[in-house]
Structure 1
Amino acid sequence: MKWKNEVSYAMTPLKILTVPIGGWPLQEYNKFALARHILSACGLSVVVIVQALELYYNCIGAYANLDALTLLACGILALLKIIWFRIYADNLICNYSSAMNDYLALDTEEKRIIMRKHASWGRIISIIALLITYIDSLIFIVGHVPVSSEGGKVNITILGHQAGYAIPSTCTLAHFHISMSTYLMIFVLEYIYLMIMCTSNHGSDSLFLHITLHVCGQLQILRTSFINFDVTSPDVYKRFNALILRHDHLIKMARKLAEIVSFVLVVQLFISSMLICIVGFQFIVAMATSDFSMMSKSFMVLSAFLAQLTVYSIVGDYLKTQMEEVAQSVYQCAWYNLPTKVARNIVFIMMWNQLPIKLQAGNFIVVDLGTYMSILKTSASYLSVLRVMIET
């Protein structure tokens, strides 16, 4: 029962989030799971195509086009993540199966506290990310409907009344005869697609970051085991070798996670950096014109993309730190009292300290707090120049 409670606390929120889109790693990969994944991918593809058409037709205004660009970027990210995580499903299955075994092997209260702490961090990240994105979506829908219906050059007229949509699609649907029932159906479908996009984007982030934090927690437990290693008890070689094998296993799990997210982080960094600059410029223009509605919308979009970059950078930096500190923990144990045959194995652990596993974008940009600060400084410099240009 205790094991079930710990697993339920750590895994249930993620399962609820990812089962509807067919992304839960421990599900039964049958036709129904594949159907859910295909339906989610098709819905996201529709959103991406419609937003691309909105930008192509360019029949409304700059603000609506910027909304379409934002949703296009979010749709591409969400579509990429659910497809990429499906391609690398074996890596996620290995990590989540290993996590289940870790909970099954709990034997001390200290380990339980460490694992519960990292599971709590994963839940907090999931809750904050989803709250931000769902609130953003609600504000987007409420704020976009009047823009698409009143501020546009081309309007959809339904029974003598102008109407907007949940996502920018006025230009795409301008040449169709839309009845009230059809309009309501389209609006509901677009709202569902918007929720699927939010869940696919931030739900996939939560799925990945949670298991990464779990690996970090296991590394912390391993560090504690090295520091408190008893060199006077029998079977020293067997017990120390078990710790080395555990270290090797965690390195393999971390490497699988880094392999999954490498290409996703390239696209994430590119799109986030681009939109931070564009939406930041929109925020500056809104401040100059005292457009408080646009200021609030821009601020919420900025907060969503900055939140994504922040959590990836913090977790990536934390993983790198935990990897590096394993070798330091070995040095802190009474290694000088170990038998020579056992002490020689310490060299291999020290060697891994020189090449810790990191979350990298495209295997060349390390995603950590240093990269995060560089992106913020570059974006702030760019926006400062634009602000001066507007004021002059």
Structure 2
Amino acid sequence: MEVKTTYGEELSWNSNTNYALGLYKTLGRALGIWPLKYFDIFSYIRVAFIAIIQLWMSIDLTQQLLIKGNCGDVTELVDVLSLITCGILTATKVIILKIYEHNVYVIVNSAVEDWTKVMDKKSRRIMFKYAKIGRTVFIIQMIGAYAAGFPLIFARLPFITALWDDRTNTNMIIRQVPIGPSCWISPDLSAYNYAICYIVQSIQLFIVCTGYIGSDTYFFGIAMHVCGQFELLHMRIENLDKIKDNVSQRREIIKFSKRHKHLLTLADNFEQTFNIIILAQVGADTILICISGNLFYYVNYLLSEDSWINFELLTGKN
């Protein structure tokens, strides 16, 4: 099979390549971070759109939280803080992946070449093992992300009733939005503006589910392929003692050294691309856990204080 090696063009794909990388290709194109098409202007437009709409969501929720405060349950406040963090991280991830697109291109291009050139059954079996792990994690994580996001959209769809009965029953209908407590929605908000707000938040929530989890599974799946290549390299060095001819053995050592250097380059590209993303992820999760813990502790403290006050009132103690 002839392989195109022109920079920026995709290599020839076979059924094995589609099995191993097809899901990441679909996701990467949707997010604008698929590196084999990174001269495409539309990929920059998609990345800019995702970054803008996610930062818009985070800024808007922060503004609502500061102005209107938390008038709902503590769980709704934690959800808002989580989505603020996820929106910022989603924008950060797609921007960084776009900035370091050349590094990701080298990794993905190497993966396509590996699937094109693999011949023996044992090597193909090892590569399929790691590809299956990546696909399984990708599917489970994406299903989990949408299972958590879509109920927030569809469970609050009674806004349709408010649209048709806006003039007569607006005050009787509790308007809800996918993100944030219902008390943030002004009763004076027109049905048209409310519908726009609901649709925009639904789009933001869908994108954060796709971009936040999708970029992680995208990284994990491609990393699994590199792990498989290291295992194949280890298998090659184990078979080195089976070669009796010194010339052939020397030739095999040279191939091993070149392949090892290539895989170290891929690992270094991974480190350069994802170290900032991992740092931001860990830092944001740590801060969010601390804030959530303090909020629940504060609420439990208030509840215990209220219970003690009610006990004093009932018993007549001062």
- TM-score when normalising by structure 1: 0.64
User: In structure 1, how many angstroms separate the alpha carbons of the residues matched to 2:169 and 2:290?
Assistant: 37
Pair 1:19 & 2:58 matched? no
Q: What is the CA distance between 1:258 and its match in structure 2? A: 0.9
What amino acid is aligned across from residue 121 of structure 1 in structure 2? Answer: I
Q: Which residue of 1 aligns with 2:97?
A: 85
For residues 18-56 of structure 1, the C-alpha deviation after alignment (integer angstroms, 9 at most, x for no partner) is 212211122253222111111111111111111211221
| Map 1:17-166 → 2, pairs under 5 A | 17-57=27-67, 58=69, 60-61=71-72, 62-141=74-153, 159-160=170-171, 161-166=173-178
Pair 1:182 & 2:198 matched? no
Q: Which stretches in structure 1 are left out of the alignment for 5+ residues? A: 147-156, 290-392
| Map 1:297-316 → 2, pairs under 5 A | none
Q: What is the CA distance between 1:139 and its match in structure 2? A: 4.2
RMSD of aligned Cα (Å): 3.1
Q: Which residue of 2 aligns with 1:246?
A: 259
Pair 1:6 & 2:19 matched? no
Q: What is the CA distance between 1:279 and its match in structure 2? A: 4.0
Quick one: structure 1 residues 66 and 142, their matched pair in 2 at CA, closer, same or farther if it must change by over 3 Å? farther
Q: Which stretches in structure 2 are left out of the alignment for 5+ residues? A: 2-11, 159-167, 303-318
SS in structure 2 at match of 1:211: helix
User: In structure 2, how many angstroms separate the alpha carbons of the residues matched to 1:124 and 1:200?
Assistant: 18
For residues 156-213 of structure 1, the C-alpha deviation after alignment (integer angstroms, 9 at most, x for no partner) is x9833331111127677649x5322332232122111111111111111111111111
Contact kept, 8 Å, 2:31 with 2:211, in 1: the verdict is yes
SS in structure 2 at match of 1:79: helix
Contact kept, 8 Å, 1:23 with 1:85, in 2: the verdict is yes
Quick one: structure 1 residues 18 and 170, their matched pair in 2 at CA, closer, same or farther if it must change by over 3 Å? farther
Name the larger-Rg structure: 2
SS in structure 1 at match of 2:174: strand
Contact kept, 8 Å, 2:13 with 2:112, in 1: the verdict is no
What amino acid is aligned across from residue 15 of structure 1 in structure 2? Answer: K
User: In structure 1, how many angstroms separate the alpha carbons of the residues matched to 2:223 and 2:136?
Assistant: 14
Contact kept, 8 Å, 2:32 with 2:43, in 1: the verdict is yes
- TM-score when normalising by structure 2: 0.78
